[in-house]
Amino acid sequence: MSEVTTAAAGQAGDALENLLKENRKFAPSAEFAANAIVHGDEYAKADADRPAFWGEQSRELLSWSKPFTKTLDWSNPPFATWFEDGEINAAYNALDRHVEAGNGDRVAIYFEGEPGDTRTYTYAQLTEEVKKATNAFESLGVIKGDRVAVYLPMIPEAVITLLACARIGAIHSVVFGGYSADALRSRIDDAEAKLVVTADGTFRRGKPSPLKPAVDEALSAPGHSVQNVVVVKRNGEDVNWVEGRDVWWDDSVGTASTEHTAVGHPAEHPLFILYTSGTTGKPKGILHTTGGYLTQTAYTHRAVFDLHPETDVFWCTADVGWVTGHSYVTYAPLINGATQVMYEGTPDSPHQGRFWEIVEKYKVSILYTAPTAIRTFMKWGEDIPAKYDLSSIRLLGSVGEPINPEAWMWYRRVIGADKAPVVDTWWQTETGAIMIAPLPGVTAAKPGSAQVPLPGIAVDVVDELGASVPNGHGGYLVIREPWPAMLRGIWGDNERYQDTYWSRFDGMYFAGDGAKWDEDGDVWLLGRVDDVMNVSGHRLSTTEIESALVSHPSVAEAAVVGAADETTGQSVVAFVILRGSAVEDADIVTTLRNHVGHEIGPIAKPRTILVVPELPKTRSGKIMRRLLKDVAEGRTVGDASTLADNTVMNQIAESLRK
C-alpha cells in the first residue's frame, strides 16, 4: 500500500493522521433540511432496487420521446446499457420542453465575458440559437453519428455547439483550449472529426489570446478527416483563412433558420467523447451515451446542490473543456431548467475580487469550484471577498481533487458566512456524474471528506486482493455496481477499456484513486495511486509528459512525478538525462518547458526540471518514481533496495547539490 500513502502525502500538506482525526461536523440547519429537495429516505429507496430507482429518476427528470421499458442490462459486463429501448433528445430536454412548459422567459445563461461584456440568454433565446446552429451544422453535412471537434473558449457558443450536436445526434469531442495544436490534431485524428468549431480566440488578462492558429497548425498536415471549420468571432483579431474550409459562425449559424424539430435518439446513442489522460502516453477518448448520462447528471445536480430551479442561480466555474463543464454547465443545469452564470476569464482578472463581484452581481446562490481556486483565494486574503455582498450564497460545492480541511473550513466560513453547506463531490471523466458527496439537507458534513456514495451508487474500498477493508482502513476505491452515467468504453478501444478499469479487481470498476473508510464509515479520497497527476484539478499523465520530453533531441531519458504543492495540489517535476552537448546549454530548462507546452499545452509544463546523470530503475528497468517523488518533495529518500544500481540516488542528490 506504499503508493496509497505516498499519494495521501501529496495533499496540500495534511498528514494522513490529521485527516482521519477530523471530528468537526456541520449538520444542516433545520431550515435548510426542511426545504431540501432530497431527504434521507432516498438511500434506502435506492438500495432496495438500484435499477428501479434510476428508472424512476429518469422518468421524473427527463422527457422521453419513446419511453423505455428496460432499465439496466448488465448481461455482458463490463458493457452496460441503460434504458436501452427508450428514445430521447438531449437538446430537447435542455431547451424546447422548458419553453413549451411556459418557462421560455426564464434566464438560462448569464454570460460574463473576460473583458466585462455581458449577454443574457433566456430559455427561449437559447433554444432559438441552438436550432440555428443545428441547421447550420446540418447544412455543412453533419449527420447523426459524425464527430465534431470543439476548440472554444468559455463562451455561450460552446454550450450552443454542444447542444446542437446532441440535437443532431452528432458526437461532440471538446478539446480544452489550453491544449496545443499537436494535442488537438491527435484528438481530431483519433475521433475522425468531420467538423471543427473554434473561435478566433479569447481574452486573457484583458489581452486577446488566439485559438484559431492552433487549429490551422493542427490541420496543416494532410490526411485529416476535417471538412469544415466554423469560426466564432470573439476577440476580433485577424485570422488566417482557408477558403472553402473555413466558415464564420455569423455567416452560417447567424443566417440559419430558427425552425428545427428535434427527434429522439436511442438511449445508448453516443453523446460525446472526452479525452483524458491515463497511465500510458496516449489519451483515452472516454465515451458517454445519452439516456443514462442525462439521468444521473440531472439527478445529482438536483440532489447534491439542492437545486430549486425557480429561485437559484447556479455557477459552476469549470471550463467546458473538462467533464465538469459538460455535466454541470452544458447538460444538468439546462436539463433541470436552472439559471446559471458562465464566465470566460480567470479569477484574478482584472482584479482578485472578480469571482465575488460576479457572485454579487448575479446573486449566485450555488457556487461550484475547485480546491485549487479556494486555496488561491485563501492566499489572497479574506479582506478581498469581504468587500462584496455574498449573502445570496446558500450552498458551496468542491470538485477535482481532495479538499484539505483547512480550505474546506475557510470556504464555509468566509464565502458561506459560516452557514452554507459545503459539498465535496468525488467523480471522474469516466463516471460522468457525481458519485460520492454529502446530501446537503441530510448529511452532517465533515471537512475534507466526500463522505457518502450517493443513493443508487455502490462504492467500496478494497485491499490488494479486492476484499473490502473495514472502517479505519485504506485501500483502493472501486465501484461495485454499474451506474447510469458510466463510460460506455474508450473510443475505438474496447480492450483498453476492459484492461484499464475492469481487470485490476474482478467484477469491479477500479477508479485509480486511493481511499479510506474512517471510523464513522465515511470515505476519504487520498489521491491517485497510478501514474496520473492532478495539477489544479487537471488530470495529467506522467508518461505523456515523459514522452513529450524525450521527443526533444536533447533529452536521452526523462521521468516525471507529481510533487505536493500547497496551492495546486500537485505540480509537475521532471528529471531528465541530457544528451551530449545539451549539458552545456544554459537555457535547456526553459527550452524543455516550452517544448512540453508545444507538445501538450501550457498546463503540462513542468514547474521544475532537474537535470540528473541517472534515473533510479528496478532490475527490470522500471523507473522508481516513488524515490524521485521523495526527492521532489524534499523528503528523505525511502527504501531503495530494489534498485538495479543503488548508488543512483546518491548521484542524483550530488548533482542537485551542484
Q: Which residues bind ligand WT7 (CB under 6 A)?
A: 276, 322-324, 399-402, 424-429, 450, 511-513, 525, 528, 534, 537, 539
CA distances from 388 to 365, 366, 385, 393 (A): 14, 16, 6, 12
Any residues with CB less than 8 A from the CB of 206 and at least 6 apart, and which? Answer: 114, 115, 349, 350
Please list the alpha-helical segments (H only) found in 446-563: 494-502, 542-550
What the block records as the C-alpha cell of 68 is: 423505455
How far is residue 456's CA from residue 341's CA, in Å, rounded to a whole number?
29
Least gap, CB of 642 to ligand WT7 (angstroms) = 27
Residue 513, strand partner residues? 528
Work out how close the CB of 492 gets to ligand WT7 at its nearest, in angstroms, rounded to a whole number. 19
What phi and psi values does residue 133 have, to the nearest 5 degrees?
-65, -40
Nearest distance in Å: CB 65, ligand WT7: 30
Shortest Å, Cβ 119 to ligand WT7: 26
Minimum Å distance from CB 192 to ligand WT7?
23
Q: Which residues pair with 610 in a beta bridge?
A: 575
Nearer to ligand WT7, 88 or 437 (CB): 437
Q: CB nearer to ligand WT7: give 231 or 511.
A: 511
The set of residues, in sequence order, having a beta carbon less than 8 Å from that of 480 and lying 6+ positions away, is: 458, 459, 460, 507, 508, 509
CB of 428 to ligand WT7, least distance (A): 4
Reference 140, options 254, 231, 247, 233; nearest CA is 247
**Shortest separation between residue 67's beta carbon and ligand WT7, angstroms:** 31
- Closest CB 262 distance from ligand WT7, rounded Å: 28
| Nearest CB to ligand WT7, comparing residues 249 and 411 | 411
Q: Which pairing describes strands 270-276 and 284-289: parallel, antiparallel, or unpaired? A: antiparallel
Look up residue 374 and give its three cell numbers: 479556494
Q: Which three cell numbers stand for residue 162?
A: 454542444
Which residue in 559, 531, 546, 571 sits closest to 616, CA to CA? 559
Shortest distance (Å) from residue 472 CB to ligand WT7: 19
Our CB check for ligand WT7 shows the closer of 235 and 372 to be: 372
For residue 608, the cross-strand partners are 573
Closest to ligand WT7 by CB, 164 vs 320, is 320
Nearer to ligand WT7, 195 or 434 (CB): 434
Residues 6+ apart with CB under 8 A from 189: 224, 225
For 344-452, list the strands marked E by DSSP.
366-369, 395-399, 422-425
Given the complex with ligand WT7, which of 71 and 295 has the nearer CB atom? Answer: 295
Backbone CA torsion sign across 342, 345, 347, 352: negative
Which of 109, 123, 113 minimizes the C-alpha distance to 339?
Answer: 109
Q: Judged by CB, which is closer to ligand WT7: 70, or 480? A: 480
Number of residues in the chain: 658
What is the Cα–Cα distance from 424 to 446, expressed in whole angstroms?
A: 9
Q: Residue 164 or residue 329: which is nearer to ligand WT7 going by CB?
A: 329
Task: Name which of 466, 481, 473 is nearest 515 in CA terms.
Answer: 473
CB burial class (10 A; 0-12, 13-18, 19+) of residue 238? exposed
Q: Name the minimum Å distance from CB 39 to ligand WT7.
A: 23
CB closer to ligand WT7, 294 vs 511: 511
Nearer to ligand WT7, 199 or 329 (CB): 329
Q: Which is nearer to ligand WT7, 55 or 432 (CB)?
A: 432
Residue 579 bridge partners (DSSP): none
Which one, of 454, 449, 514, lies nearest residue 484 by Cα?
454
Residue that the C-alpha cell 452560417 belongs to: 252
Taking the CB of residue 234, how many other CB atoms lie within 10 A of it? Answer: 24
What value does the CA radius of gyration of the chain take, rounded to a whole number of Å?
24
Handedness of CA 65, 68, 71, 76 (dihedral sign): negative
**Helix, coil or strand: residue 319:** coil
CB 606, min distance to ligand WT7, A: 19
Q: Kindly tell me which of 377 and 426 has the beta carbon lying closer to ligand WT7.
A: 426
Report in angstroms how near the CB of residue 431 gets to ligand WT7 at its nearest: 7
Angstrom distance (rounded) from CA 347 to CA 373: 8
Question: In angstroms, what is the minimal distance from the CB of 366 to ligand WT7?
Answer: 16
> What is the C-alpha separation between 441 and 385, in angstroms, rounded?
26
Nearer of residues 121 and 315 to ligand WT7, judged by Cβ: 315
Shortest distance (Å) from residue 432 CB to ligand WT7 = 9
CB 629 within 8 A of CB 561: yes
